[in-house]
Structure 1
Amino acid sequence: MEPLVDIVIEDDRWEALGLEPLATRAVVAALEELGLGQAGFTLCLMGCDDARIAELNADFRGKPQPTNVLSWPSEERAAETPGTAPDLPEPGDPDDPEELGDIALAYETCAAEAAAAGKPMADHATHLVVHGFLHLLGYDHVEPDDGDLMEATEVAILARLGLSDPYS
């Protein structure tokens, strides 16, 4: 059984890219890499445009400009000691999965970043789903040690998916 990734498409370009199977594949790989299994979790992922994510960024972070990905964890899971793994959630029951939170991706920003890096849009979007998902689990990159851990975890998950290191 796969985790339940509820997809909200506000920009049809995400549908054309195949956001739902891409996101499910990324989340499954992340859960497996972290030893959490595939079942018992749920999250919501919104594929939107730059205008919408700029509104969300202004509302929640006080930054009225577009960004590539935003995440809203359902609860605080960060580690107390920088550079150590967060306290990962326990899976819920199939009828009552553990709610991890919400992620939003902005199409234009993601597409521009992919083009600038010479990467396929699907690969970059997969990376951003993994990045946002790790934020839901308590990973962060504010402190250097936390950033190193999050980056290494992203690279391992992307390798599991057959994608190259986006930081190299």
Structure 2
Amino acid sequence: MIDVAVQVETPWPEGDWEALGIRAVEAAIAATPHAELATTPELVEISVRLTSDGEVHGLNRQYRGKDKPTNVLSFPMVQPDLIDTVSRNGDDGELLLGDIVLAHGVCAREAEEKGVALEAHATHLIVHGLLHLLGYDHQGSAEAEHMESLERDVMARLSLHDPYNRDEPEFDARRFE
């Protein structure tokens, strides 16, 4: 069973961010070989934190040595190659998969540049972050292509835009109303 804890902080606007986070995480997990995490009797916990650029800037500097904000950070709690073999990493039958943190200002600017709603771009970034928690990366060309393919697939399953297609018509924000 998946438990997605969504924490929304200023300056994120009001909205049903919890439902959006749950939907993005569940769709991303379902598109991977780790789909069984959704049906395991153990609790699989994922934290999604929507916060400010300043907060993400500090985390990026502290944990990645990059002195700037970024759109999304992922903090895995389990080594990716152990996800399938570790039944739990806590004393109470829970699998703490990790944390995903999004920066509002960066996300809002990118959404505007892409011509998509903030909710759609945040969905994509949560999917992207979740894939990182599962061990996917985009350091090499082949890895990047595979991860982007998964992201495109998940976004299509959610009836959302292709995050890597700049020619796609503008996103219909009414899907989130």
After TM superposition, the score normalised by the length of structure 1 is 0.85
Tell whether the 8 Å contact from 1:41 to 1:92 is kept in structure 2 after alignment.
no
- Output one character per residue of 1:43-67: Cα deviation in whole Å (capped at 9) or x when no partner: 1111101011001011001112110
> What do residues 28-77 of structure 1 show as CA deviations (whole Å, max 9, x unaligned)?
11122223352441111111010110010110011121100000111221
TM-score between the two structures when normalised by the length of structure 2:
0.81
Alignment of 1:4-153 (within 5 A): 4-14=3-13, 16-34=14-32, 35-36=35-36, 38-39=38-39, 40-77=43-80, 89=84, 92=87, 96-153=93-150
Q: Which piece of structure 1 moves more, 34-43 or 64-73?
A: 34-43
The share of aligned pairs that are identical, in percent, is: 39
* Alpha-carbon contact 2:78-2:96 (below 8 Å) kept: no
Structure 1 moving runs of 4+ over 3 Å: 87-93
Contact preservation (8 Å) 2:108, 2:118: yes
- In the alignment, structure 2 segments of 5+ residues that lack a partner are 166-177
Q: Does the Cα contact within 8 Å between 1:155 and 1:165 map onto a contact in 2?
A: yes
For this pair of structures, how many residues does the alignment match? 157
Q: Once the 2 structures are TM-superposed, how far is the Cα of residue 167 of structure 1 from its aligned partner?
A: 0.5
Q: CA RMSD in A?
A: 2.0
Gap runs ≥5 in structure 1: 79-86
Partner secondary structure for residue 104 of structure 1: strand
